[in-house]
């Protein structure tokens, strides 16, 4: 039985392919390279010393998808395909709903046709909207997402819940990621956004490598220890390992729809990240304090207990590792 990985050349997808191959899974990977590079596929093979089938295609292409299910014995699907830029989703909501929601539906409907009912979904902590309590547990209220990207994640979660309610032979893991950062320690794969990054860590990395002049810190008047926003940053390799554990859970007898936070449970401020990045990489990150970014929340971090108890998931990498690995990848490019 093989695992179909959609969006396997992307940031989280590529790291997960590495961990799956290391754990002995056989893979079929698809990607349309709309936000990733073809060279990533070779790099996954170099890191692991293992081979897998790869198809360059859009996961909305149902006939090609069917061909994959006919040609391979697929046992489970992990879905990383989808658009992920928050700001862009506000500009292009239709594109986001088509690619993320319709894409997931085409995939799920094809799975149903071929009798494949194990599904791992890349969701996001953004589904919690404005948190009512911190740390966030999986039973916290979801909804009132603040942008179409977040709403696509919320809608797909609801679709999965409805599918499971209608047919309890499905086996589904919804993984709510907190803030994935860092890169593989080889420096061969990592986060490589086009243009000016929106997220903190890739922005800092571009300042460190002098591609951008200075970081703007969006507000230092939040009710946090130093006034800057606090988030739960998780090393992408830890996050990738969470997918292997989730697949193992789906391989067990008991069927279900399981929801897990994948975070560390630790909150770090923007200034913590800047200071740590400077220290471990021996670089300077010039910054200025600017206005708060619209829609930003002061403090957001996970309670990771459920994933620890039910999956055995514990994030082991430190903030030093996250900053070091992010910079190593950028320096090697
Ligand atoms: N942030 C910042 N400057 C930037 C990008 C982000 O000060 O150029 C802050 C942002 O306000 C938040 C934290 O860094 O407090 C993490 O932001 P990111 O966009 O990476 O993640 P998200 O807000 O989606 O959790």
Can you name the residues that pair with 287 across neighbouring β-strands? 215
CA 293 to centroid of ligand 1, rounded, Å: 8
For residue 253, the model assigns a pLDDT of 75
Q: Which atom of ligand 1 is nearest to the CA of 86?
A: 24
293 within ligand 1 shell (Cβ under 6 A): yes
Nearest residue (CA) to ligand 1, atom 21? 199
224 within ligand 1 shell (Cβ under 6 A): no
226 within ligand 1 shell (Cβ under 6 A): no
Nearest residue (CA) to ligand 1, atom 4? 200
CA 197 to centroid of ligand 1, rounded, Å: 10
CA 291 to centroid of ligand 1, rounded, Å: 12
How many other C-beta atoms can be found within 10 angstroms of the C-beta atom of residue 322? 28
Please list the ranges in the chain whose pLDDT falls under 50.
Answer: none
For residue 155, the model assigns a pLDDT of 98
Q: Which atom of ligand 1 is nearest to the CA of 197?
A: 8
- 3-state DSSP call for residue 237? helix
Residue 34: HSE in the Cβ half-sphere, 13 Å Cα cutoff: 17
Q: State pLDDT tens for residues 283-327.
A: 999 999 999 998 899 999 999 999 999 999 999 999 999 999 999
For residue 193, the model assigns a pLDDT of 81
For residue 239, the model assigns a pLDDT of 98
Letter string b/e over residues 133-172, b meaning 16 or more CB atoms within 10 A of that residue's CB: ebbbebebebeebbbbbbbbbbbbbeebeebbeeeeebbb
- Which residues are tagged catalytic? 149
For residue 195, the model assigns a pLDDT of 83
For residue 238, the model assigns a pLDDT of 98
Alpha-carbon Rg of the chain, whole angstroms? Answer: 19
- 3-state DSSP call for residue 293? coil
The reported pTM is 0.97
């Amino acid at each position: 039985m093989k695992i179909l990985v959609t969006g396997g050349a992307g940031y989280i997808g590529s790291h997960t392919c590495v961990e799956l191959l290391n754990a002995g899974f056989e893979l079929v990977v698809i990607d349309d390279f709309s936000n990733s590079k073809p060279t990533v596929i070779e790099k996954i093979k170099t890191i692991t010393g293992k081979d897998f089938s790869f198809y360059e295609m859009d996961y909305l292409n149902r006939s090609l998808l069917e061909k994959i299910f006919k040609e391979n014995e697929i046992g489970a699907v992990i879905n990383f395909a989808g658009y992920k830029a928050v700001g862009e989703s506000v500009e292009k909501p239709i594109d986001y709903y088509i690619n993320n929601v319709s894409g997931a539906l085409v995939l799920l409907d094809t799975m149903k046709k071929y009798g494949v009912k194990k599904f791992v979904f890349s969701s996001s902590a953004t589904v919690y909207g404005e948190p009512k309590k911190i740390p966030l547990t999986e039973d916290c209220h979801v909804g009132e997402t603040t942008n179409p990207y977040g709403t696509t994640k919320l809608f797909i979660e609801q679709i999965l819940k409805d599918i499971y309610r209608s047919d309890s032979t499905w086996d589904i893991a919804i993984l709510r990621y907190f803030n994935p950062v860092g890169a593989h320690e080889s420096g061969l794969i990592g986060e490589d956004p086009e243009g000016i990054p929106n997220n903190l860590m890739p922005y800092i990395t571009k300042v460190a490598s002098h591609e951008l002049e200075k970081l703007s810190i969006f507000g230092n008047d939040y009710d946090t220890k130093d006034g800057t926003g606090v988030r739960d940053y998780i090393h992408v390799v830890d996050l990738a390992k969470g997918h292997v554990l989730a697949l193992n859970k789906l391989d067990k007898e008991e069927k279900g729809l399981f929801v897990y936070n994948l975070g560390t449970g630790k909150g770090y401020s923007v200034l913590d990240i800047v200071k740590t990045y400077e220290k471990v990489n021996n670089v300077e990150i010039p910054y200025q304090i600017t206005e708060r970014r619209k829609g930003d929340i002061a403090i957001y971090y996970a309670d990771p207990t459920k994933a620890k108890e039910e999956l055995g998931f514990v994030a082991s990498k430190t903030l030093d590792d996250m900053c070091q690995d992010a910079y190593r990848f950028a320096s090697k490019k």
